[in-house]
Amino acid sequence: MSYQPSDDRYENVSWRRAGTTGLTLPEFAFGLWQKFGDRSPFETQREIVLAAFDAGIVHFDNANRYGPPHRAAEKNFGRILRDDLGAWREELILTTKAGNPIGPSPYHRGGSRKNLLQSLDHSLRDLGTDYVDVFYFHHPDPAVPLEETVGALATAVQSGKALYAGVSNFYDRDEAHRAAALLKDAGVPLALHQSRYSIFDRRLELQDVLGQSEQDGVGLVTYSPLAQGLLTDKYLDGVPAGARAVDSDFLSTADITEQYRRRARALNELAGLRGQSLAQLALQWVLRRPEVTSALIGASSVEQLHHNLKAPAFAPLTEEELAVIDTHGVHGTGLRIA
Sign for the CA dihedral angle at 73, 78, 79, 80 comes to positive
Question: What is the structure's pLDDT at 246?
Answer: 46
Provide mean pLDDT across the span 126-141. Answer: 98
CA dist., res. 284 & res. 310, Å (int): 9
State yes or no: pLDDT of 245 exceeds 60: no
Question: What is the structure's pLDDT at 251?
Answer: 66
pLDDT tens digits along 227-239: 999 999 999 987 7
State yes or no: pLDDT of 242 exceeds 70: no
Beta carbons within 10 angstroms of residue 119's beta carbon: 25
Mean pLDDT of the chain: 95
Residue, of 277 and 1, whose pLDDT is higher: 277
CA dist., res. 200 & res. 325, Å (int): 10
State yes or no: pLDDT of 336 exceeds 90: no
State yes or no: pLDDT of 164 exceeds 90: yes
pLDDT tens digits along 37-63: 999 999 999 999 999 999 999 999 999
pLDDT tens digits along 97-125: 999 999 999 999 999 999 999 999 999 99
Domains defined along the chain, listed by start: 15-235+278-316 (3.20.20.100)
Full DSSP string of 303-315: HHHHHHHTGGGSP
Coarse DSSP helix, strand, coil percentages of the chain, rounded to the nearest 5 percent: 45, 15, 40
Q: Which amino acid is at 297?
A: I
Question: What is the structure's pLDDT at 253?
Answer: 75
Q: pLDDT-derived band of residue 294, with 50, 70 and 90 as boundaries?
A: very high
